[in-house]
Amino acid sequence: MIKAVIFDLDNTLVDFMKFKRQSVEAAVDAMIDAGLKIDKKKAEEIIYEIYEEKGIEYQRIFDEFLEKVLGEIDYKILSAGIVAYRRVKEATLSIYPHVRQTLTELLKMNMKLGVVSDAPRLQAWTRIAQAGLLHYFDVVVTFDDTRVLKPAAEPFMFALNKLGLEPKEAIMVGDWAERDIVGAKQIGMITVFARYGDVFGTQNSGADYEINDIYELVDIVKNLNKKGG
Amino acid sequence: MIKAVIFDLDNTLVDFMKFKRQSVEAAVDAMIDAGLKIDKKKAEEIIYEIYEEKGIEYQRIFDEFLEKVLGEIDYKILSAGIVAYRRVKEATLSIYPHVRQTLTELLKMNMKLGVVSDAPRLQAWTRIAQAGLLHYFDVVVTFDDTRVLKPAAEPFMFALNKLGLEPKEAIMVGDWAERDIVGAKQIGMITVFARYGDVFGTQNSGADYEINDIYELVDIVKNLNKKGG
């Protein structure tokens, strides 16, 4: 009997890479408009190199970018970039199609809902809040709660313990096969690969199910609970 | 001969207190909506007490507020507050009527334009950028540039030196008599009190001029330069 559905956050519920691309592009445009002399493509390349090195959540991204290309921080250019980034971020952080509909439907089926994310606590929570999903979840586990990344068992077990459930009573949905699927599977959860969020061109997800639209979860849960009784 | 007009930023160009009040109110509403049990007025009082103690730019305001009222940080509540605060901030940070018109007119009169603010560097710059005023100013002096607050001479002199001007060649416009007017006057600048931004109920500003609308500056400069030749 399935009693809970646990989701990865970024690229599973929230279209994180789309928002990141659009925000970075807006920031680069604004910095060039504020006087930065640089080729746009080159600027984006350097920014993604810094993200690559420091992590995609790195907060001093534009400071470091300017130090790299100018040798110092020009605050006129920096502030133009930050403000443009934030504006687009506020406007575009978007959930995938049918997310709200799916979560609502799962609630009506008495499912508990959770998030298990490798993102830092504050960033994960604010993205959930910004996406307007704050009220759906019974448990939200972020990197800071266990200090271990998926596929380790800890974050998944942390969520299950909070819900008082066994692994086999819960579904894990995620876009990252090596973290979400491998981790959930090895402790005995049912796994669903969110192919719509896959940015790696994953061939074999190894998941029990694959979905191209999050709403497919509703039928998966229905069928599992019909079978399982 | 007047060659430059230097502005204070908050409550002179940007309606800072309005944005702060509206953002805090939105944050409190959102935190209550996310499950915080507290009287709204009481919550706002506590928040302003923390601002009073830590400064109006304090970034951990909601963390500390929650620690105070809950004994811990509930991230569901915190993230709801932060997201609501940011949303209103992005939407409402507004310049006073006729600011853009006035700055444009002063530029056409060949005036150099500057900002001298006691705000921290990044906050001052991002507010200027957010208000869409980034391109107007020849010099922006923030707290971090001199590490001394107005009414000390340093921040004013820093701006004048950058512009290569004598104090008597520049007008200082500000809403805070004891800082903006006292400071500028004692080094020999012409002073203009922005009465429309006064939050203290100032009786005697001590300024050479007082204005209720920023556009009055245009006539003040015209008249001074007619007289002065």
Question: In this predicted model, which residue has the larger pLDDT, A154 or B87?
Answer: A154
Tell me whether residues B129 and A87 touch, CB distance under 8 A.
Answer: no
The closest CB to that of B129, out of A80, A121, A135, belongs to A80
Q: Is A184 on the interface with B (CB under 8 A)?
A: no
Contacts of B89 in chain A (CB under 8 A): none
Of A76, A79, A129, the CB nearest to B80: A129
Mean pLDDT of A132-156: 96
A148: Cα within 13 Å, side-chain hemisphere: 11
Q: Which of A76, A79, A125 sits opposite B79 (nearest CB)?
A: A125
Are B38 and B69 in contact by the 8 Å Cβ rule? The answer is: yes
Residue in the block written with tokens 């103690």: B53
Residue identified by tokens 């279209």 is A15
Please give the structure tokens belonging to residue A156: 């998944």
Cα separation, A22 vs A20, in Å, equals: 6
Tell me the whole-structure pTM to 2 decimals: 0.78
Interface check for B153 against chain A (CB to CB < 8 A): the answer is no
Contacts of A47 (CB under 8 A, 6+ apart): A24, A27, A28, A61, A62, A65
Q: Report the alpha-carbon distance of residue A182 to residue A176 in Å, rounded.
A: 9
Question: A93 pLDDT exceeds 70?
Answer: no
Please count the other Cβ atoms lying within 10 Å of the Cβ belonging to residue A199. Answer: 10
**Tokens linked to B116:** 């001298």
Residue A82, helix vs strand vs coil: helix
Predicted pLDDT of residue A90: 78
**Using a CB-CB distance cutoff of 8 angstroms, which residues of chain B are in contact with residue A125?**
75-76, 78-79
- pLDDT tens sequence across A39-59: 999 999 999 999 999 998 899
Question: Going edge to edge, which strands form the sheet with A139-141?
Answer: A139-141, A112-116, A4-7, A170-174, A190-194, A209-211
Which pair of tokens denotes residue A23? 């925000």
- Interchain CB contact of A90 with B (< 8 Å): yes
Q: Which residues of chain A are within 8 Å of residue B134 when distances are taken between CB atoms?
A: 34, 76, 79-80
* pLDDT for the residue numbered A73: 96
For residues B179 and B10, the answer to whether their CB atoms sit within 8 Å is: no
CA-CA distance, B65 to B71, in Å (whole number)? 9
Task: Label the pairing between strands B139-141 and B170-174.
Answer: unpaired
Task: List average pLDDT for each run of 10 residues in chain B, which is 229 residues long.
Answer: 97 90 94 96 97 92 97 96 89 84 97 97 93 94 97 98 98 97 98 94 96 98 84
Residues of B in contact with A86 (CB under 8 A): 86, 90
Residue A186, class by beta-carbon neighbours within 10 Å (0-12 exposed, 13-18 middle, 19+ buried)?
A: middle
Q: Do B140 and A75 touch (CB under 8 A)?
A: yes
Q: Does the CB of A144 have a partner CB in chain B at under 8 Å?
A: no
The answer to whether A163 and A170 have CB atoms below 8 angstroms apart is yes
What was the pLDDT predicted at A19?
A: 84
d(CA A85, CA A63): 13
Q: Which pLDDT tens digit goes with each residue over B66-117?
A: 999 999 999 999 999 999 998 888 776 678 989 999 999 999 999 999 999 9
Strand partners, A140: A115
